[in-house]
Amino acid sequence: MSNHTHQCARRENADQENGNTDNNKSHSSNVSNCKNSSMKGDESYSASTDTITSFKNQVLEKRRKIEDKILESSQRSLDMLQTSEDIAVSTCKELSIQREQLERSNTRLGVINSTLKVSSRYISGIKNVFGSFKNFISNIREESMASKSGKQNVYHHDELIYQNNDKEAQQIKSRALHPGLRIRGMDENLNERSGEFDKQLKVNLDSIDNSVSRLKSLALEMGREIDDHNRLIDDITVKTEKAVASLESQNKDLRNLIN
């Protein structure tokens, strides 16, 4: 009975040892599988991270290019506005010089018209004198038809008067046709990058705004200058036409006096 008991116990121990060996093998297999699974997960995570980083870099690069184009465009606009402003300043200066010339021409035409008024009065006086002389000569001719010597004296006197008056008329005509009456023909971080971009863009836009404001002021000034020019040109045109008409009338009167 005792031997049989010991045999059974040894058999049970052997079975337990065999069972433990199987369990150890199963455990080792599970551990190995877990390690392999963990390594595969790490590789997948690393690949996903690389993809996200690459996509982020692409987005940043595209944004940089867009920002650079915006800054370049704003800078070109600013350069063109500055060039336009320089041209406008030069134009304003030139318009100012032209206005001064027109004002001088307008003033001179006023003086010319005043002189022509005086000469017109002189011509009227000469016409009256000529009329009186013609009447006087006619009366003398009628009264001295019988006297030959008296007639010769009258003709001699008439010739002297004609010569003197012709000389005076020529002087008046010369003054009336003076060259002064000729009128001349009248300008690396996204946040840091965004901060720099915003700052530079703001500077450019502020400069553009200031340049546009200055251009507007210059345009208004040029408009006022052109209005002054138009007014002066209208005055000059009226005075010129008046001077030409007066000259033609006086020349006609002088020709009638001479003839």
Does a structural domain hold residue 16?
no
Q: Does the reported pTM lie above 0.75?
A: no
Does a structural domain hold residue 145?
yes
Does a structural domain hold residue 94?
yes
Convert the pLDDT of each residue in 21-80 to its tens digit: 454 444 455 545 545 555 555 556 566 777 777 877 788 888 888 888 888 888 888 888
Does a structural domain hold residue 252?
yes
- Residue 175, CA distances (Å) to 62, 111, 117, 124, 163 in order: 82, 14, 13, 16, 18
Does a structural domain hold residue 242?
yes
What whole-number distance in Å separates Cα of residue 162 and Cα of residue 130?
9
- Domain limits at 239? 63-258
pLDDT for residue 165? 46
139: Cβ–Cβ under 8 A, 6 or more apart, which residues? none
Q: How many domains does the chain have?
A: 1
What whole-number distance in Å separates Cα of residue 54 and Cα of residue 168?
105
pLDDT for residue 130? 67
Does a structural domain hold residue 44?
no
Does a structural domain hold residue 108?
yes
Q: φ and ψ at 48, to 5 degrees?
A: -65, -40
**Which residues of the chain fall below pLDDT 50?**
1-8, 14-15, 17-21, 23-27, 31, 34, 148-162, 165-166, 168-169, 172-173, 175-187
Does a structural domain hold residue 50?
no
Two tokens, residue 36? 């392999």
Q: φ and ψ at 147, to 5 degrees?
A: -105, 115
Query: Angle at the Cα of 128 (from 123 to 134), degrees rounded to 5?
Result: 120
pLDDT for residue 134? 65
In single-letter form, the type of residue at position 247 comes to: L
